Structure 1
Amino acid sequence: MVADLSPFSPAHCPRLVVKVGSSLLVNEEGAIKRNWLVTLVEDIATAHRAGQQIAIVSSGAIALGARRLKLPKGGRACLEDAQAAAATGQIALSQIWADLLAAHGVIAAQILVTLDDLEDRRRYLNASATLDRLMGLKVIPVINENDSVATAEIRFGDNDRLAARVAQAAGAQGVILLSDVDGLYTDNPGRNPDAQLIERVDKVDAAIMAMADGGTASGMGSGGMTSKLEAARIANAAGSTLAIVSGLHENPLSRFITTGRGTVFVPEKAARARKAWLAGRLSVKGTVQIDSGAAKALADGKSLLPAGATGVSGTFQRGDVINVLGADGTVIARGLAEYDSAESALIAGKRSDALAEVLGYAPRSALIHRDHLVIL
């Protein structure tokens, strides 16, 4: 069966995010694969002329900068080397994109973000407005993580998930992850020759996640199949269709249109904007574990009541984002806490009529209200 490409056509996908991995852009010597990149830009320019608004999430700054600075281990020997390589490589990377797009009469813009820029609600809305204005002006934004200042605490860690978050912020209907793999397989094809490519995924559940391999084929990038599946989950929660496609060929986008080879992740339905933002968050302050009865209530659209909680972990304040774990420890929902962690621990498992006595004041009825909760 050939994958359904209609979600990615300009007619069905007015806005598209294309992510390009490091191993596709930069060779083992740390130089840009310019001949290949020219063919990708041809594909992007063709879609742009057809009326599609496109944003590019481009890796490669660290690998490119490490070569220029002659740093060991591709610039990843230590955080300081990675930051210096990113600062040096990013200016060169942006210039290459700008020059190649300009050859087709297209203006490029650069946007660098850290995790906090899309996790903080106000900054997320600012980024969304900037993307919307640029793309409305027919400018192609070239986006990367700001690795020159990012640390472990404020990093996306891979551009797969960044691409999904950018799609969410831009209101894009589609995301294409160009990578050194051509999709999701039933097993690692490098180890199992009988592994089969999965062409369509309707829900990223535990069975799909179990097929992931955390490594990368090239060893150059930071994302593996696990990060791509997490990206698919984020994109689908916002109503965006995501595809994992091989970039190991010239004109990879037009090749995908011709052959349909890849894995397409189809959303069930789009969440409201605020809930999609919650679903896509990568950092949380704590967790609440619940019993099976509470899990069913959440699935039915109810709020999370203290009686259904069986445990609380982490340190969080009222209004912080927390995960909800099912009885087996799997994350099943995410929302904004109505109580801080200390209060949540005190009232976990308590009936609503006992809360005032435990807390010493008239309580709120829910640990997480349904209006501030999203099922994952």
Structure 2
Amino acid sequence: MTPPGFPPARCRRIVVKIGSALLVDPAGNPREAWLRALVAEIAERRAEGQQVILVSSGAIALGARRLGLAKGGRGSLEDAQAAAAVGQIALSQAWAMLLGERGITAAQMLVTLDDLENRRRYLNASATLERLLSLGAVPVVNENDSVATAEIRFGDNDRLAARIGQAARADAVVLLSDVDGLYTANPHVDATAMLVEVVERIDARIMAMADGGSGSGMGSGGMRSKIEAAKIATGAGAHLAIISGHVEKPLDHWAKGGRGTIFHAADAKRARKSWLAGRLTTRGHIQIDAGAERALGKGNSLLPIGVKAVTGSFARGDVVDIVAEDGRVLARGLAEYDSADAVRIAGHRSEDISAILGDMPRSALVHRDHMVLLHP
């Protein structure tokens, strides 16, 4: 069953992610014929009123060839950063040329994980995307690998695409992949593996399909990252599709009956809660008991009485994960107390806070208005 607004031709605004293997050939050159065909269908969709944002990989691969770096530029962090610095110029030139041939203005946006985790910079990125689209440009987004490190990077453009879709309030995110969707097992080694065409809810069963090299055959670096991206996108109210990019005009091919996997969007959350749900970094964890877990499920705030343990170092207003006793992440929210005070009041009743801390400015440790429940 296809969700409302799909296939992507019927979506007002979409994000299309293109991986390095589709964009760059084994010799490190752009696959211009395939890219021209993709740009042609983007131009067709824009003529019909659709807005398109591209999330484009390929900078490191392009730069490594020009610098003569071994291992595709990924032999070290320094090599990857140098390759990205050179490759970004080549990548932006390629997109500007190809889109320009169709009378379309390309706009480059380079972001790091921190740009979309910091609330103010996230809103700035959102405003920039909105303005570029209103002016008729096609934003071409990539991670700023020339400055990103292991601590401040997405690590894959699947999740970046989902976060950009969230920031742009897109209707859909489409991941052009080297496989045509999520399979029940690795189709390369299991003849009984079946394509999962529709995912209504991302649960443990769906996550298990991405383990052990299933789906794309790339393990946690491949299909698992796509499912993590689907969590972000669907939680923000956008559908997400995984389809094969190994065809000419892949969006049209899929719209006309091509194979793929669709993750249905959840009900759109308020913007602040959507941002919270999509964050990839948090400052601490608050472990709660079963009673508090039931209370959160009913829409209540987190009170200190239900807290079993507090880990991490965070200030008031920082983002923290709320976890069950078995380690499941139940919710994410803004802490009403810093970590030191949270440890002191954990397990105590709200009316005892003033005696413990000397005052009682807030009864909740995480208020329900600043909390979002996550997938179990």
TM-score in terms of structure 2 length: 0.95
- 1:187 match: 185
Q: How do 1:89-168 residues align onto structure 2 when only pairs under 5 Å count?
A: 89-168=87-166
Identity of paired residues, percent?
62
Is the contact made by 1:10 and 1:51 (CA closer than 8 Å) also made in structure 2? no
Question: SS at 2:102's partner residue?
Answer: coil
Q: Which residue of 1 aligns with 2:266?
A: 268
* Cα 1:27–1:46 shift into 2, 3 Å: same
Q: Which residue of 2 aligns with 1:254?
A: 252
Counterpart amino acid of 1:101? L
Shift of 1:4: 4.8
One-letter amino acid of the structure 2 residue matched with residue 77 of structure 1: G
In structure 2, distance between residues paired with 1:168 and 1:146 = 19
Distance in 2 of aligned mates of 1:196 and 1:222:
19
Aligned match of 2:210: 212
Cα distance in 2 for residues equivalent to 1:217 and 1:63: 20
Aligned residues: 373
Q: CA deviation at 1:42?
A: 1.5
Q: Secondary structure at the match of 2:147?
A: coil
Per-residue CA distance 1:130-154 (angstroms, 9 max, x = gap): 1001111111000000001111111
Paired residue secondary structure (1:117): helix
Taking structure 1 as reference, are residues 314 and 214 closer, same or farther at Cα in structure 2, changes over 3 Å only? farther
1:169-318 alignment, distance < 5 Å? 169-213=167-211, 223-318=221-316
Alignment equivalent of 2:74, drawn from 57, 61, 76? 76
Partner AA of 1:56 in structure 2 = L
Contact 2:159/2:225 (8 A) holds in 1: yes
C-alpha contact (below 8 Å) 1:278/1:335 kept by paired residues: yes
CA 1:222 to 1:33, structure 2 compared with 1: closer, same or farther past 3 Å? farther
Residue of structure 2 in register with 1:338 after alignment: 336
Deviation at 1:222, TM superposition (A): 9.4
- Give me the whole-angstrom Cα distance separating, in 2, the residues matched to 1:33 and 1:214: 31
Extract unaligned runs of 5+ from structure 1: none
SS state at 2:206 partner: helix
Distance in 1 (CA, whole Å) between partners of 2:317 and 2:202 is 28
Cα offset, 1:356, TM superposition: 2.0
**TM-fit CA distance, 1:258:** 1.1
Q: What is the CA–CA distance in structure 2 between the aligned matches of 1:106 and 1:256, rounded to whole Å?
A: 24
The CA deviation string for residues 42-85 of structure 1, in whole angstroms up to 9 with x for no partner, is 12111111110000000000011101111011101111100000
TM-score, L = length of structure 1: 0.95
Runs of 4+ in 1 over 4 A off after TM superposition: 214-219
- 2:61 pairs with 1:63: yes
**Partner of residue 6, structure 2:** 7
Question: Aligned letter for 2:324?
Answer: G
Alignment gaps of 5+ in structure 2: none
SS at match of 1:24: helix
Is the 1:5–1:260 contact (alpha carbons within 8 Å) kept by the matching residues of 2?
A: no
TM-superposed deviation, 1:268? 2.3
Q: What value does the CA root-mean-square deviation take over the aligned residues?
A: 1.8
Provide the rounded CA distance (Å) in 2 between the counterparts of 1:363 and 1:131: 39
Contact 1:98 1:107 survives alignment (8 Å)? yes
How far does residue 284 in structure 1 lie from its aligned partner after superposition?
A: 0.5
Which secondary structure state, in structure 1, belongs to the residue aligned with residue 256 of structure 2?
helix
